[in-house]
Amino acid sequence: MKRLIIYALVLSLFAACNSKDENDSTDEGKTEQTTEKKISKRDYSISSSNSYTDLFLDSLAVEKYIAENKVNDTISRRMRSFYNARNYQFAWFSSDGPTEEGRSFWNLHEYSTTYNRNNSSDDKKLKKKMDYLLSEESVRVGAGDKSMINTEISVTSHFIEYILENYQKGEIKRKEMERFVPFKKADAMYLADSLLTKKHKDNKYYADVNPAYRLLKEQLQKYYDITKRGGWQPIVTKQKTIKKGSSSSEVLAVKKRLEVTGEMQPGDTSQLFDDRLENAVKAFQVSRGLTPTGTITSSLIKEMNVSALKRVEQLLINMGRMRWMLTPETGNLLLVNIPEFILHVYEGKNEAFSMEVVVGKEGHNTTMFTGNLNQVVFSPYWNVPVSIVKNEILPAMANDPDYLSRNNMEEVAGGEDGLPAIRQLPGPKNSLGKVKFLFPNSYDIYFHDTPAKSLFSSDKRAFSHGCIRLSDPTKLARYVLRDQTEWTPERIDEAMNSGQEQFVKVKKAIPVLITYYTAWVDENGVLNFRDDIYNHDVTLSKKMFTNPL
């Protein structure tokens, strides 16, 4: 997969819907008329029926926040303009909790205050509130909740400060910034057309400086054109499996389908499943993260039958996500793209190696965030999460009094909510395997080994309780500690098998990015799609598009 490190918080694809912009000089001494031009007019066309989120503020709440917190003129002017542009619609929360943009920006903010030592933006009270909101599985937000109103406006204030502190004057215009968070539903083809056919200043800051975004935009053009021409015909078959050597009308239908997206060269009218079709099917399978068997199955037909318009929506959603990713200063990077089930290890622009991973199953979603890997733990204990103790271990103990001893577990001090604290001792049965890798975060997510190696044989690997299991943890341990000469491969192997927990500080912490891309272009120029395993795309499409598929 091509490196998906995106220049953080460049302008939104939704800036494409408005090509006009004003200069946003912050020079003092400008006339009152000039100052007024720096505030967007309130967009009264946005209502609860077409808004991106379903909560709205009273404009007086913003003024009250500005007055009580003594917000300076530059920030307060931008805050008014920001909310005018979205008709005082919430940006970071909807009634079902934090939006994806809310999670994404707070992740950037946390990385900046934690690792870049930007203490000027550190707000401990807000941090505590956001940590709670982001860690809860289910949160309901009411429009009249004064605490949430204050949290919403506070995040906006920090967002504007972040932009002004991290970008040069004029690099990101005010109106561009106001479109970082979508504010109004629109037809997917309209959005794509606006983005592709009009000249915008965003090209300077987005496509030209962001190769991954530019490549995805090129694919958007391709799928937009395909959709305008009517897309492709769905393949109808009762056969569960079609193999090379067979001949049928379904085979010809598959050839025609793959001609449209480029896996097959045009002009083949034969109904024979030949070598060329087998190679095309394999290419299609690889681009979907499937084992390239070259055999057509019912599940593969289902994937081929996803409409071109649906792919346009998917491309727009993922292009929107790309604006929130951080570019770490260091040349090393560990990146996990959740729907891809792969860990990529980068050195600068080059991928050093990759490995398969297992991520959280639905209901135990692995969270998107950025952190720094700074510790390796050999022969770790597993401190069992309270939810697993309650929902899995205690019921098992009720039926089997020897459950703990048989699973090399023990009860220790420090329980909470009336539940015992349980940990699993180091050893071959330990659920974390022989090593884990820590990158401190509010979600208690980390990389680790696993004794359940069979899980890596599946194409779709969402089985864990939220942490990320590695197919080759020994290789990662040797890589992470490669500059610490005392940690030879032999010593690492010994520590992994010692049965004694040992913490090792990494000399130079390595940034870790956990992303969620269901569409991207790889290093070979191939467009990849993946399943929306957590339904994040589904949620966004309902917010973004007037008639989502």
Q: What is the pLDDT of residues 490-502, one digit of tens each?
A: 999 999 999 999 9
Q: Tell me how far apart the alpha carbons of residues 361 and 372 are, in angstroms, rounded to a whole number.
A: 24
Q: Tell me how far apart the alpha carbons of residues 2 and 521 are, in angstroms, rounded to a whole number.
A: 6
H or E segment to which residue 421 belongs: strand 421-424
Q: Tell me how far apart the alpha carbons of residues 433 and 495 are, in angstroms, rounded to a whole number.
A: 12
Phi, psi of 467 (to 5 degrees): -75, 175
Torsion sign across C-alpha atoms 222, 223, 224, 229: positive
Instruction: Give the contacts of 408 (CB within 8 A, at least 6 positions apart).
Output: 424, 425, 427, 429, 430
Q: Tell me how far apart the alpha carbons of residues 406 and 428 are, in angstroms, rounded to a whole number.
A: 12
Phi, psi of 278 (to 5 degrees): -60, -45
At position 456, the amino acid (one-letter code) is F
- Please, what CATH class does the domain formed by 328-381+426-517 belong to? mainly beta
User: What are the structural domain ranges in the chain?
Assistant: 19-178, 328-381+426-517
Instruction: Give the contacts of 523 (CB within 8 A, at least 6 positions apart).
Output: 1, 2, 351
pLDDT at position 26 = 40
Parallel, antiparallel, or unpaired: how do β-strands 409-412 and 97-98 relate? unpaired
Q: Which residues, in sequence order, are bridge partners of residue 369?
A: 514
Supply 87's token pair.
């008709």
pLDDT at position 111 = 80
Q: Tell me how far apart the alpha carbons of residues 534 and 141 are, in angstroms, rounded to a whole number.
A: 21
Supply 528's token pair.
């990849």
pLDDT at position 6 = 34
Nearest one of 92, 108, 105, 79 to 152, comparing CA atoms: 92
Q: How many CB atoms lie within 10 A of CB 416?
A: 9
Torsion sign across C-alpha atoms 211, 213, 215, 217: negative
Residue with tokens 């799609």: 529
The low-confidence residues of the chain, meaning pLDDT below 70, are 1-37, 115-122, 137, 167-176, 198-210, 325-330, 362-364
pLDDT at position 207 = 64
Residue ranges with strand state E in 321-368: 332-337, 342-347, 350-360
* Distances, alpha carbon 120 to alpha carbons 109, 178, 247, 274, in Å: 11, 23, 69, 64
pLDDT at position 318 = 94
SS3 418: coil
Residue 221 CA, distance from chain mean position = 23
Q: Tell me how far apart the alpha carbons of residues 217 and 205 are, in angstroms, rounded to a whole number.
A: 14
Q: Tell me how far apart the alpha carbons of residues 311 and 114 are, in angstroms, rounded to a whole number.
A: 37
Nearest one of 549, 527, 546 to 182, comparing CA atoms: 546
pLDDT at position 199 = 60
* Distances, alpha carbon 444 to alpha carbons 91, 369, 371, 467, 543, in Å: 27, 11, 11, 8, 29
Supply 44's token pair.
């009264």
pLDDT at position 119 = 56
Helix axes 536-544, 100-115, angle to 10 degrees: 110
pTM of the predicted model, to two decimals?
Answer: 0.86
H or E segment to which residue 520 belongs: strand 519-521
Q: Which residues, in sequence order, are bridge partners of residue 438?
A: 375
pLDDT at position 31 = 40
Name the DSSP letter for residue 364.
S
Please write down the HEC assignment for all residues of 464-507. Answer: ECCCEEECCHHHHHHHHCCCCCCCCHHHHHHHHCCCCCEEEEEE
Burial of 97 (0-12, 13-18, 19+ CB in 10 A): middle
Q: Tell me how far apart the alpha carbons of residues 545 and 549 are, in angstroms, rounded to a whole number.
A: 9
pLDDT at position 312 = 98
pLDDT at position 265 = 95
